[in-house]
Amino acid sequence: MGTTLKAQTGAEIFGTTSVAMVTPFTSTGELDLDAGRKLASHLVDNGIDSLVLAGTTGESPTTTAEEKIALLKAVKEEVGDRARIIAGAGTNNTRSSVELAIASRNAGADALLVVTPYYSKPSQTGLVAHFTAIADATDAPICLYDIPGRSGVPLHAPTIRQLAELPTVLGLKDAKGDFFEAAPLIRETGLAWYSGDDPLNVPWLSVGATGVISVIGHVAPRLLREMITSFEEGDLARVREINANTIDVLARQQAVLGGATFAKAALRLQGIEVGDPRLPVVPATDSQIEDLREDMRKAGVL
C-alpha cells in the first residue's frame, strides 16, 4: 500500500483546492447532518476538490468522536468520489488519535490530517513516536499538520525528514510559514505541501506547494479554484488580482473573527445556514457582521 501511494501525486491523494469545512449545528447546538451534506455539495459543485472535516475550523476540540464520524459518513455519501475527504484525526492523546484514525478510515475517509499534539508540548522524539503510531494503525495517507501557534510545538526539519520516510506520510499542511526552511524540504522529502494560512497561499504556491487548505474557500470557492488554476496555467496577473481583491480582503475578517466564526457568519450572509460555533468560540456580534458584510461585497462574494 505504501509503495502504491508513493507512486501517486499529492494532488491525486489530497487534492489541490481544499476547504477546512465547518461542522454545521442546529439552532440548539446539535450536529446538523443535512446542513453538512448541503454545504459539502455546494463547495464541491463550485470547484473544491478536497474537504477537510473535523479540523480546527470544524471545531474538533468541541465535537465528539461520534459526531466526527457521523459527519464524515454523511459527507462521503453526499459527494462520493467527486472530492477527496480528509478526516482530522489528531489529538494530544496518541491512543485517542489512533482510535479516531482507524474509525475515520473505516467510515470512508480518503486520507487523514493529523495535527501536532497540542498543550502537552512533546519532544521531537515524542512527535515521531506519536505520528508513527498513527501511521502504523491504518493504511490511510497522512497529511501532517504543523501549526505551532496553536499546538505550542513546531515540527523541526529533521523530524519532518524522518516522518516523510514513513510510507503513508505523504503531505504536510503548513501553518508555520517558514519559507526558508520549507522550500528545501518540499524538494527533498517529496511531500505534498499545503498552505494552511490563506494570506500566504500565493507565496506557498510560488515555492512549490501542491495546493491550499483554506477557510476563505467557504465563501469564495469558485474564485479560490480559479486562483489555483490560474497559477497552474501561469496567469500570474489573474492570481494577483484574485488574491488582492478577494483573498486578502476576506483574510482580514478571518483574522479578526477566527476561522469558525468567520466562516459560519459569512456563509449565513450568503444564505447558507450552518449554525453558530460552540463555546468557547462565540458568534460574530452585530457590528462585526456589518463589517463582514461590507468586506464580502468588496470581495465580490455577496
Distance CA 102, CA 257 (A): 33
* Residue of 173, 176, 194, 264 with catalytic role: 173
* Residue of 145, 176, 194, 264 with catalytic role: 145
Whether the bond between 280 and the residue before it is cis, its omega within 30 degrees of 0, is: yes
Geometric angle at alpha carbon 88, from 102 and 57, rounded to 5°: 160
- Is 173 among the residues known to form the active site? yes
Across the chain, where does the E strand assignment appear? 17-20, 50-53, 84-88, 111-115, 142-146, 169-174, 192-195, 211-214
Using DSSP, state whether 169 is helix, strand or coil: strand
Q: Cell 478577494 belongs to which residue?
A: 246
Give whole-number Cα distances, 8 to 76, 90, 278, in Å: 21, 24, 38
| Cβ atoms of 171 and 194 closer than 8 Å | yes
| Cβ atoms of 243 and 227 closer than 8 Å | yes
Q: What residues are labeled active site?
A: 145, 173
